[in-house]
Amino acid sequence: MQENFFDCCYRIIMCQDIAQKNAETKKLYHQLTSHQISIEDSLNPVYSIPIAGRPVKPELVHPLDVPKRKMGSKEGHAGLLHALAHIEFNAINLALDACYRFQNMPHEFYHNWLQVAFEEVYHFELLNEHLAMIGYAYGDFSAHNGLWEMALKTEHDVLARMALVPRTLEARGVDAVPEMQEKLRTINDTRAIEILDQIHHDEIKHVAFGDKWFKYECSKRKIDAEETFFDLFKTYNAPKIRGAFNRIDRKKAGFSDNELERLYNLSY
Mean per-residue pLDDT over the chain, rounded:
92
143 vs 41, higher pLDDT = 143
Report the C-alpha gap between 226 and 233 in whole angstroms.
11
* Residue 27 CB burial class (10 angstroms; 0-12, 13-18, ≥19): middle
* Max Cα–Cα distance, the chain, nearest Å: 56
Closest CA to 147 of 161, 157, 136, 159: 161
CB 139 within 8 Å of CB 186: no
Mean pLDDT of 70-79: 85
- Tens of pLDDT, residues 118-157: 999 999 999 999 999 999 999 999 888 888 899 999 999 9
User: Would you tell me which CATH number, out of the four given (1.10.101, 1.20.1260, 1.10.287, 3.30.1370), belongs to the domain 5-266?
Assistant: 1.20.1260
Percent pLDDT > 70 in the chain is 97
Spatial neighbors of 107 by CB under 8 A, at least 6 apart, are: 39
- Tens of pLDDT, residues 7-32: 999 999 999 999 999 999 999 999 99
User: Which SS3 state, helix, strand or coil, does residue 143 take?
Assistant: strand
Q: Which of 52-61, 101-110, 210-219 has the lowest mean pLDDT?
A: 52-61
Percent pLDDT > 90 in the chain is 78
What pLDDT, on a 0 to 100 scale, did the predictor assign at position 238? 87
Query: In this model, does residue 202 exceed pLDDT 90?
Result: yes
Does residue 143 come out as left (phi exceeding 0), alpha (psi in the -120 to 50 range) or beta? beta
Q: Report CA torsion sign: 104, 52, 212, 226.
A: positive
Work out the pLDDT band at 2, boundaries 50, 70, 90.
low
128 vs 40, higher pLDDT = 128
Where exactly are the structural domains of the chain? 5-266
